């Protein structure tokens, strides 16, 4: 581990803020090109590189969507309870759905409805649950369980199964959580890449060596898009521009790339012109929650030490 990617507690808080802010920025940036084809994006923008809103949801510049909103539902539940609270998360999802959000995935809607009708906190296995709707909201779980990989594994799957129960979604949630935590704790890009190889070793569909450009909401395509751009670019901006110009589920690939790249490069690498555009209430809550979640984490409980490096 090099000096500049060490474990100075201040840096850990900064990178955690980068993860949550990166998620919101990626969501707001990518929502403009959601469901577009790369050729359509080129025709309209040449390169889409500004937070301008619009898109099929007709968003205001800097407005976020379900990816950020559901992540904030999780963050709020954990901060309010001062600990893990799956029912609190489900209640927040339900209140959010009742508030008629601008966008909500069909699998998420089904899971939240089942909670409303039956109090069900774990949706049964479903072969169609391999969408990216659980993976997109992993940032708060990664921050809250920082420093305890076993806890991350457990809570990643618990939160995922509120709405999505599929081995590929579970595997994606775990990999994203580990990568966000690894990046926050100072691992380098080779260590991050090793985490993707571990995922590909278990589920070869995630192999992104010969990336074909599919960026839809199937969690395998989503992660291949994120990984391809994460490892073929050298900074936050370039990574996110690559991802959102691929179109497809661009707000969600943007959100996931944003949380990993935001943790890895830190919040100062996020272009000011992007985060300044974010809805100020959302931005404030995202930044405050990142700190509060890390304060609740096992890492903070040990006084800000991580005995076993980045694992
Ligand atoms: Mn969205
Ligand atoms: Mn999306």
Q: What is the pLDDT of residues 145-155, one digit of tens each?
A: 999 999 999 99
**Ligand 1: distance of its center to the CA of 70 in Å?**
9
Q: Minimal CA–CA distance to 228: which of 216, 218, 243, 238?
A: 243
Q: What is the pLDDT of residues 281-306, one digit of tens each?
A: 999 999 999 999 999 999 999 888 66
**Ligand 2: distance of its center to the CA of 71 in Å?**
13
**Ligand 2: distance of its center to the CA of 34 in Å?**
7
Tell me the average pLDDT across 174-189. 97
Looking at all shown ligands, the one closest to residue 249's CA atom is 2
**Ligand 1: distance of its center to the CA of 27 in Å?**
7
Please give the C-alpha separations between residue 203 and each of 65, 157, 168, 210, 270, in angstroms, as whole numbers.
29, 17, 8, 16, 31
Give, as one character, the DSSP assignment of residue 263.
H
Task: Kindly report the pTM of this predicted structure.
Answer: 0.96
According to the model, what pLDDT value does residue 311 have? 43
Q: What is the pLDDT of residues 49-100, one digit of tens each?
A: 999 999 999 999 999 999 999 999 999 999 999 999 999 999 999 999 999 9
**Ligand 1: distance of its center to the CA of 255 in Å?**
8
Domain ranges of the chain: 9-62+75-82+132-149+167-301
pLDDT band at 157 (very low <50, low <70, confident <90, very high): very high
Looking at all shown ligands, the one closest to residue 248's CA atom is 2
Architecture in CATH for domain 9-62+75-82+132-149+167-301: Orthogonal Bundle (1.10)
**Ligand 1: distance of its center to the CA of 102 in Å?**
9
Looking at all shown ligands, the one closest to residue 219's CA atom is 2
CB 274 within 8 A of CB 29: yes
């Amino acid at each position: 581990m090099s000096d500049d990617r060490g474990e100075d507690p201040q840096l850990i808080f900064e990178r955690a803020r980068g993860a949550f802010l990166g998620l919101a920025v990626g969501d707001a940036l990518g929502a403009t090109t959601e469901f577009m084809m790369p050729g359509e994006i080129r025709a309209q923008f040449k390169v889409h590189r500004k937070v301008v809103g619009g898109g099929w949801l007709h968003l205001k510049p800097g407005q976020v969507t379900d990816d950020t909103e559901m992540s904030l539902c999780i963050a709020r539940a954990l901060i309010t309870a001062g600990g893990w609270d799956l029912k609190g998360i489900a209640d927040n999802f339900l209140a959010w759905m009742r508030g008629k959000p601008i966008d909500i995935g069909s699998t998420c809607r089904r899971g939240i409805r089942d909670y409303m009708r039956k109090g069900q906190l774990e949706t049964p296995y479903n072969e169609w649950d391999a969408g990216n709707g659980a993976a997109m909201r992993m940032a708060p779980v990664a921050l809250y369980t920082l420093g305890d990989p076993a806890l991350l594994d457990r809570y990643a799957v618990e939160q995922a199964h509120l709405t999505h129960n599929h081995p590929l979604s579970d595997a994606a949630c775990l990999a994203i959580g580990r990568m966000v935590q690894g990046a926050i704790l100072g691992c380098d890009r080779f260590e991050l890449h090793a985490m993707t190889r571990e995922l590909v070793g278990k589920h070869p569909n995630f192999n992104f060596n010969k990336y074909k450009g599919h960026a839809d909401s199937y969690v395998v395509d989503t992660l291949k898009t994120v990984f391809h751009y994460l490892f073929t670019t050298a900074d936050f901006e370039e990574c996110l521009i690559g991802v959102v110009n691929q179109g497809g589920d661009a707000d969600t690939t943007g959100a996931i790339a944003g949380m990993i790249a935001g943790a890895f490069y830190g919040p100062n690498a996020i272009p000011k012109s992007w985060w300044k555009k974010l809805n100020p209430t959302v931005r404030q809550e995202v930044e405050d929650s990142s700190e509060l979640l890390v304060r609740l984490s096992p890492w903070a409980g040990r006084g800000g030490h991580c005995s076993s490096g980045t694992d």
